[in-house]
């Protein structure tokens, strides 16, 4: 079979929910991917901010293989060893007190929403609470997560969605304040908005929302699914601000490719929140996922990946800023650490496609941002190689 056969096979069988790039990826090594024709790609997408250690990391793979040989799944009716280890490590890096492991990011958001609603229900003795979310946010594709995703295009066909959601403007404290009522149980946002176009929270906004939450007994839920797990140079982006959430979510790089997410909370929330019978999952936190999370966090801590990201992130920022200076069609850079975006007036889809031809994987965020989310283990030489390829891609637009 050749590339076209594989592509046709997929197009004839899979539900057409993606317009895929014309590449069939076959294997990875370090920070490079190879397609079925043997073409090599420098990976600045990392499977959408997932593959923090790149490809072929032996220690990680050996941990998964060893666990696969022992036990992959048990259900949550019984205890298992890996998930206990993973939970301890997750709580240590997050400063949270209780964690629930899920199969994906969207499912972590569902759990966080339920946890907040149950907390308010226990406290007030009745249901009917509201959640404030942000415009241009992204929290996932299931109905609950979609209901708090501030994007009319994603929401419209599926209405009516979950009621009781109000939208405020990100980084605008007055706008959040205006949406608070006596029914508000939680304020939810991404510490750095990802899909919406790479917008980091302003420090005043983080601190202001935390204050509003404290004054009104409202829970602060931070979505760290994309910006967490050292991507911004901090294990979780909120740690840079010194503003701690009451509930937080994680996924993407949490298992570095093994599908796993998490929502976690403080003991104060947990005491009044989900109890036996309130929530569950067949797969969530199974031994294989547990082994992945345990190993990923162990390696991130031991190798101080966050410090590495701060260093390489600063270098990437400097180089991207230089591109904004150089090219008129690039109007701004935004981001933190190795979660960076370039705002472009040229069509992003075409830039991404040209980059692909040059052997570089980058992705879009929103309608006008080129997103850079490489493996966290990249070195300066990879940034330089990326720039060379990106500028070659640009050159095809500029006469
Ligand atoms: C990707 C993402 C999600 C959804 O995660 P899935 O694993 O795709 O369900 C939620 N929130 C943010 C911030 C994300 O980037």
Average pLDDT over residues 99-105: 98
Per-residue confidence (pLDDT) for residue 1, from 0 to 100: 84
* Mean local confidence (pLDDT), 181-209: 98
d(CA 209, CA 211): 5
Residue 144 has a pLDDT of 98
Q: Is the CB of 102 under 6 A from ligand 1?
A: no
pLDDT, average across residues 173-196: 98
Percent of the chain with pLDDT over 90: 98
pLDDT given at position 398: 76
- Exposed, middle or buried by CB within 10 Å (0-12, 13-18, 19+), for 374? buried
Is the dihedral angle over the CA atoms 350, 351, 357, 359 positive or is it negative? negative
* Rounded mean pLDDT, 179-196: 98
Inform me whether the pLDDT recorded for 193 exceeds 90.
yes
Active site residue 311: no
Mutate to test the pocket of ligand 1, among 46, 140, 261 (most ligand atoms within 8 A of CB): 140
Measured CA to CA, the distance from residue 314 to residue 291 in angstroms comes to 32
- Give the pLDDT of residue 399: 61
Mapped onto helix, strand or coil, the DSSP state of residue 185 is strand
**Residue 143 CA, ligand 1 centroid: distance in Å:** 13
Ligand 1 pocket, residue 147 CB under 6 Å: no
Residue given tokens 């490719």 in the structure block:
257
Per annotation, catalytic residue among 43, 118, 167, 223:
223
Q: Which of 139, 191, 281, 364 to mutate to test the pocket of ligand 1 (most atoms within 8 A of CB)?
A: 139
DSSP string, 229-282: TTTTSSSSTHHHHT---SEEEE-GGGTTTS--EEEEE-HHHHHTS--TTS---S
138: tokens are 């992204």
**Across residues 311-324, what is the average pLDDT?**
98
Arithmetic mean of pLDDT over the chain: 97
CB of 373 sitting under 6 A from ligand 1: no
DSSP E strands, 284-394: 330-336, 339-344, 360-361, 363-365, 369-372
Burial call 121-135: b when 16+ CB within 10 Å, e when fewer: beeeeeeebbbbbbb
Residue 259: count other Cβ atoms within 10 Å of its Cβ: 18
In the predicted structure, residue 254 carries a pLDDT above the cut 90: yes
Residue 32 C-alpha from the chain's centroid: 21
Confirm whether 138 is a catalytic residue. Answer: yes
Model pLDDT, residue 353:
96
Neighbours of 252 (CB within 10 A): 27
Answer for the pair 38, 274: CB distance below 8 angstroms, yes or no.
Answer: no
């Amino acid at each position: 079979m050749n590339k076209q056969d594989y592509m046709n096979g997929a197009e004839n069988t899979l539900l057409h929910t993606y317009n895929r790039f014309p590449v069939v990826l076959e294997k990875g090594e370090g920070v490079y991917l190879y397609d079925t024709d043997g073409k090599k790609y420098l990976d600045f997408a990392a499977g959408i901010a997932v593959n923090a250690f790149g490809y072929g990391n032996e220690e990680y793979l050996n941990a998964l293989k060893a666990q696969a040989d022992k036990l992959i799944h048990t259900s949550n009716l019984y205890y298992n060893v890996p998930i206990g280890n993973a939970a301890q490590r997750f709580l240590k890096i997050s400063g949270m007190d209780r964690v629930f492991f899920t199969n994906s990011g969207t499912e972590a958001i569902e759990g966080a929403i339920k946890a907040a609603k149950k907390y308010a229900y226990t406290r007030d003795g009745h249901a009917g609470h509201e959640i404030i979310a942000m415009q241009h946010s992204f929290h996932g594709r299931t109905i609950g997560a979609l209901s708090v995703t501030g994007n009319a295009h994603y929401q419209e066909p599926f209405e009516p969605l979950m009621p009781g959601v109000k939208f405020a403007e990100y980084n605008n404290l007055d706008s959040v304040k205006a949406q608070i009522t006596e029914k508000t149980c939680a304020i939810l946002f991404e510490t750095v908005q990802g899909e919406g176009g790479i917008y980091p929270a302003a420090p005043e906004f983080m601190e202001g929302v935390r204050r509003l939450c404290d004054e009104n007994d409202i829970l602060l839920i931070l979505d760290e699914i994309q910006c967490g797990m050292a991507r911004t140079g901090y294990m979780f982006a909120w740690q840079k601000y010194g503003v701690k959430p009451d509930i937080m979510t994680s996924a993407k790089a949490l298992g570095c490719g093994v599908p796993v997410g998490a929502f976690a909370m403080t003991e104060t929330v947990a005491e009044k929140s989900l109890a036996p019978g309130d929530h569950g999952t067949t797969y969530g936190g199974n031994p294989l996922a547990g082994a992945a999370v345990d190993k990923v966090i162990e390696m991130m801590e031991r190798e101080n990946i966050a410090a590495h990201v701060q260093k390489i992130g600063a270098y990437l920022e400097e180089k991207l800023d230089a591109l904004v200076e150089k090219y008129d069609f690039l109007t701004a850079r935004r981001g933190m650490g190795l979660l960076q975006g370039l705002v472009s007036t040229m069509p992003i889809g075409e830039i991404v496609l040209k980059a692909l031809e040059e052997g570089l994987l980058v992705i879009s965020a929103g309608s006008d941002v080129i997103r850079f989310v490489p493996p966290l283990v990249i070195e300066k030489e990879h940034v330089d190689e990326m720039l060379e390829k990106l500028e070659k891609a640009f050159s095809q637009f500029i006469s």
